[in-house]
Chain A
Amino acid sequence: MFYREAGDFKTSYGEDSQTFPIKFDRLRYFAVLAIAFGVVPLFINDYWANAVAVPFLIYAIAAIGLNILVGYAGQVSLGTGGFMAVGAYAVYKLMTAFPEVSIFIHVILAGGITAAVGVLFGLPSLRIKGFYLAVATLAAQFFLVWLFNKVPWFYNYSASGQINAPDRTIFGVFVTGAQTSAMAKYLFCLVMLTLVALVARNLTRGTVGRKWMAIRDMDIAAEIIGVNPLTTKLSAFAVSSFFIGIAGALFFAVYLGAAEVGEAFGIQKSFLILFMVIIGGLGSIFGSFAGAAFLVLLPVFLKNVLVGTLGWPTDLAAHIELMIVGGLIVVFLIAEPHGLAQLWRVAKEKLRLWPFPH
C-alpha cells in the first residue's frame, strides 16, 4: 500500500477536515482501535497492565488535559498533580458517600468537580502570564496537597491519612478494588481515554480550539475579532482540569487502589505530565499519546535492558533515565517545540512525496 494523497480527492469540506486526511492513516487508526479493544485484552497480564498499559492510558488522559491548557491555549500550569489529586479525592468522597451510583458516573463527576476547581485557580490567568502564572499554579499545587493532608474530612478520618478505593463493578465486573483483573482495569481506562481523546479532538478542531489558539498566539488580535479573553481562558482551564480530574480519579481508584496525596500527586507528577506534553508535542492530541507512551516506556525499557540484561545497579539506571529525560526536554524545547508529533509529521510529509520530492 502506498502512502499517497494522489487519487484520494476530497469532494467536500467535511472530508477535507477529517482527523486523518489520508485514507491509509484512517485505516491505521481503525486498526489501532481494533487491536486496542479486541486483541490486547486477550493477552494482557498483571505485569503489562500495571507497568505499562494502565499508567500509559491514564497519563495519556492527563497529558491531553494539560496539552489543551499549555499547548492549545498557551497558559502555563505546574498544578497538574494537585488537580489530579482533586479528581482522586472527589471520586473517593463520591464512591464512599453514594455507593449505589455507578463508578463511571463518579469518575465523570470527579472530572466536573476538578473543572470547577481548575476554573477557580485559573482566575489569575486573566491578569498574569507566563512565568508568573506558572508560579501561581505551583502555589495551587502545594496548596491542594496541603489541603488534602490537613483536612481529615477528605480522607474520611482514616487513621493512616490514606484513601482506599472500595470495590466497584461495571456490568458486574470489578473495576476497582483488590479483585479487579488486569483486563478490566485496562478496558475501563481505555474506554475513558477513547472518550477523552474524541472530545478533545472535537473541541480542538472547531471554534473552541481556534479561540484557544488565538489567545495563545496573539491575545490582542484575538480580542479584536471577538474572542472574550475571560471566558476563553477559563474554558481552557475548565476542559483541561476536567480531563486531568478524570485521570486523577482513575489513577487513584483503578491504578493505585490506595493513595497518600503527597506521594501520589506531588510536584513530581506535575513535572512528569508537563514533560510528556513537551516531548510529545505542544498543541497536538497525538503528541499527548506519544509523550505519555515515551515516558512510561522509557523506565521500563531501561530497567529491562540496563538492569535486567546488562546487570547494572538499579539506582544507576534511574540516574540515566533522569539524564535522558532532562536532555530530551532541553533538546525539544530548543529544537522542536512541537515534539515527537512534529517529527512524525515531517517524516510523513517526506514519505508523502517520496521518492520525488519536487
Chain B
Amino acid sequence: MNDMSDGYVTADGRQIGGVLMEMKNITLKFGGVTAIKDISFDVRAGEIRAIIGPNGAGKSSMLNVISGFYVPTEGEVWFKGVKRGPMRPYQVARLGIARTFQNIALFDGMSVLDNILTGRLTLMKKGLLSQAAWWWSGAAQEEYEHREKVEKIIDFLEIQNIRKTPVGRLPYGLKKRVELARALAAEPKILLLDEPMAGMNVEEKEDMSRFILDVNDEFGTTIVLIEHDMGVVMDLSDRVVVMDYGKKIGDGTPDEVRTNQDVIDAYLGVAHD
C-alpha cells in the first residue's frame, strides 16, 4: 500500500525518513474486552501520523501500549529497528517518547514554569547530592541552562504571561498548551498527542494546529496524533491509521483513507455484521 522504501518528500517539501517505530500485530485484551485486535502499522521519522476512529475504537489504548502503560497481550513494538522489551512508562520516556493525555494530566500544584521544567527531567543529570549543594556543585548552573531552553518553548507557544501561574488556575485551552509545552521540553523524538484539540473552539484549534505543524517543521519531531476533527486530520497528517472496534480498517494518505469504503461505512455507521 505505502511504497516509500526509504523515505519520501511530502507535497509541501518536508523530508520524511525511514521507519522509526513499528507496531507489529498488537493485540490488547482487558479480561473479555479486546481493545486492540492484531494491529500493525509503522511510523516514519519526521512524519505526522494520525490515528482516527469512532469512540471506543482503541486509539488511546494504542498510545498507552506505545508509552508503556499497557503491556500488549500479543505483538511487538519496534523502535529504531530494535524490538523493545517490556518497559515501564518512565523508561519509555527516556527513549525519547513524550506524550499528552486525552484528559489533561498536569501537576496542578506547580507553576507553569515548573511543569515545563519537569518535562526536561530526563535531560538533567545532577543527582540528589549535587542538588543539595546547589551553587558549589553546578546544579544551579544546570538549572539555568535548562531554564533558558524552557523559556524558548514558552515563547514558542506564546504563554509568557502565565509562566508563574499555578497550573490548576488556568482555563482548559491553556492547560492543553502547557501540557504540549511540557512534552516538548523533553525534546522528544516521538511526540504522542491524544486529542490535543478536544473541547477547543475554532480559534484555539487553529493555534494548536499551527503549533503542531511548527514543532514538526522546526524540530523535525515525529508526531503521532489522535484526533476526531476530520478537517484537522486531513490538513495536518501525512498518513492516517483508521481504527474501528479495535481493528485497523484503513491506512494511508488522507486522500486514500477518505475514499476507503470501510472507513466511510464506519463513519456513517453502517451496521456491522
| A223, B98: Cα distance in complex, Å | 11
The size bracket of the interface on A is: 20 to 34
Residues of B within 8 A of A224 (CB): 67, 69, 89-90, 92-93, 98-99, 101, 105
> Per-residue CB proximity of B243-258 to A under 8 Å, as 1/0?
0000000000000000
Evaluate contact between A225 and B182: CB separation under 8 angstroms: yes
| A208, B129: Cα distance in complex, Å | 10
The closest CB in chain A to the CB of B122 belongs to A226
| A12, B98: Cα distance in complex, Å | 29
Tell me, yes or no, whether B80 is within 8 Å of chain A by CB: no
From residue 95 to 131 of chain B, which have CB atoms closer than 8 A to chain A? 98-99, 101, 105-110, 114, 117-119, 121-122, 124, 126, 128, 131
> Per-residue CB proximity of A213-227 to B under 8 Å, as 1/0?
110111011111111
The closest CB in chain A to the CB of B101 belongs to A221
Tell me, yes or no, whether A160 is within 8 Å of chain B by CB: no
A213-B109, A217-B107 given as contacts; is B134 within 8 A of A206 (CB)?
yes
> Per-residue CB proximity of A184-202 to B under 8 Å, as 1/0?
0000000000000001001
Residues of A within 8 A of B140 (CB): 14
Residues of B within 8 A of A203 (CB): 128, 131-132
Sample of 9 more A-B contacts, CB < 8 Å, known A217-B109, A222-B118, A224-B105: A206-B143, A214-B110, A221-B105, A221-B107, A224-B67, A224-B92, A224-B99, A225-B122, A227-B118
A203-B128, A210-B117 given as contacts; is B186 within 8 A of A226 (CB)?
yes
| A96, B90: Cα distance in complex, Å | 45
- The smallest beta-carbon distance between B188 and chain A, in angstroms, is 10
Name the one of A14, A217, A225 contacting B186, with C-beta atoms under 8 angstroms: A225
Among all A-B residue pairs, the 10 with the closest Cβ atoms: A226-B93, A221-B105, A217-B107, A202-B134, A226-B122, A13-B147, A223-B89, A13-B144, A210-B118, A199-B132
Residues of A within 8 A of B147 (CB): 13, 17
Tell me, yes or no, whether B84 is within 8 Å of chain A by CB: no
Residues of B within 8 A of A207 (CB): 121, 124, 126, 131, 139, 143
A13-B147, A226-B93, A227-B121 given as contacts; is B105 within 8 A of A283 (CB)?
no
The size bracket of the interface on B is: 35 or more
A207-B121, A226-B122 given as contacts; is B110 within 8 A of A13 (CB)?
no
Q: List 30 A-B contacts (CB under 8 A).
A: A13-B143, A13-B147, A13-B148, A13-B151, A202-B131, A202-B132, A206-B131, A207-B131, A207-B139, A208-B131, A211-B121, A213-B110, A214-B118, A216-B107, A216-B109, A218-B106, A221-B101, A221-B107, A223-B89, A224-B67, A224-B89, A224-B90, A224-B101, A224-B105, A225-B90, A226-B186, A228-B88, A229-B90, A235-B128, A239-B128
- The smallest beta-carbon distance between B110 and chain A, in angstroms, is 5
Name the one of A13, A213, A239 contacting B107, with C-beta atoms under 8 angstroms: A213
The closest CB in chain A to the CB of B186 belongs to A225
- The smallest beta-carbon distance between A225 and chain B, in angstroms, is 5
From residue 89 to 123 of chain A, which have CB atoms closer than 8 A to chain B? none
